[in-house]
Amino acid sequence: MSGQPGQGAATRGDETFVSFGEQGAQLTYGSYLRLPQLLDSQHLESDPPAHDELLFITIHQVYELWFKQLLHEVTAARDALLSPPGTGRDRLWWAQHLLARVHVIERTLVQQVDVLETMTPQDFLEFRQRLAPASGFQSVQFRELEFLSGAKDPGYLDRFRGLSDDEQERLRRRLEEPTLWDAFVTALGGAGFDVGDDEQVARALHTVAHDRDSHAALWALAEALLQHDELAASWRARHVVMVERMIGAKSGTGGSSGSTYLRSRLPLQYYPLLWELRSQL
């Protein structure tokens, strides 16, 4: 939000009235953004307070806000691809536009690791034990994003038993609903391709890749999906190195194997058919 609050005025005859700002309405910058609640959400567990715990809490809350935005954008992109042609704005263009925003946010997520790495291992250890059994493994929004992107893992609900009823419901809903990849395959089918199985989808992708003049929008979407996949992989790689820098081979506070578990996630691909396509070009 920009501008100076309370400076919007207009004249009606001889009467000057405030049209916006603090004098014209109850809504203010702080109330609109819920700043009192937002800025009261960082509560340190360490006693005496560890200097870097505020940084640790803030950066992870920021991550969760970005995850919320990513879910908003990826869900909208998926829904656009699932909508019938001719239902408003060009649905393929809109999905690509939203995914371009997703890419920018994901690059921001990677860059935010630099902020965490201004914290030394010694400073982190001042309050790390206070975190147990909390762990980044428990980020429901991050799992939602993986499920929605195409990497569904029903076993997560069994492996982690600290989920609230609402969180379990959200994850079950993500497991049941179409993924971004499902929506892209639907768009391929809407363009006249046979997409009954992975072999047919692979052939369709091959055709799209070799005739970009006829299938420009589909090719752009395929590239946008691959970019999403690549940036998610970049974040996982950057994250595991940061964890190893902070705690080495120690176990995670939530009982996971720490960096060992994180490294096991590095080969994950949302869209293996798009990666396999590279070998066929």
Bind-site residues for substrate: 56-60, 128, 253
Tell me the C-alpha distance between 108 and 41, whole Å.
Answer: 22
* 15 phi, psi to nearest 5 deg: -105, 125
**Residue bearing tokens 């997409």:** 195
As beta bridge partners, residue 10 has: 17
> Which secondary-structure segment (H or E) carries 16?
strand 15-20
Residues 18/9, Cβ–Cβ less than 8 Å? yes
Q: How far is CA 269 from CA 112, 124, 150, 181, in A?
A: 22, 31, 9, 12
List the binding residues for heme.
239
Q: Any alpha helices (H) in the chain, and if so which ranges?
A: 29-32, 35-38, 53-82, 91-116, 121-125, 140-149, 155-159, 165-176, 180-190, 198-210, 216-247, 259-264, 272-277
List the binding residues.
56-60, 128, 239, 253
Residues 204/188, Cβ–Cβ less than 8 Å? yes
Structure tokens at 262: 């994180």
**Residue bearing tokens 């060009």:** 90
Distance linking the first and last C-alpha atoms of the chain: 47
Tell me the C-alpha distance between 216 and 85, whole Å.
Answer: 16
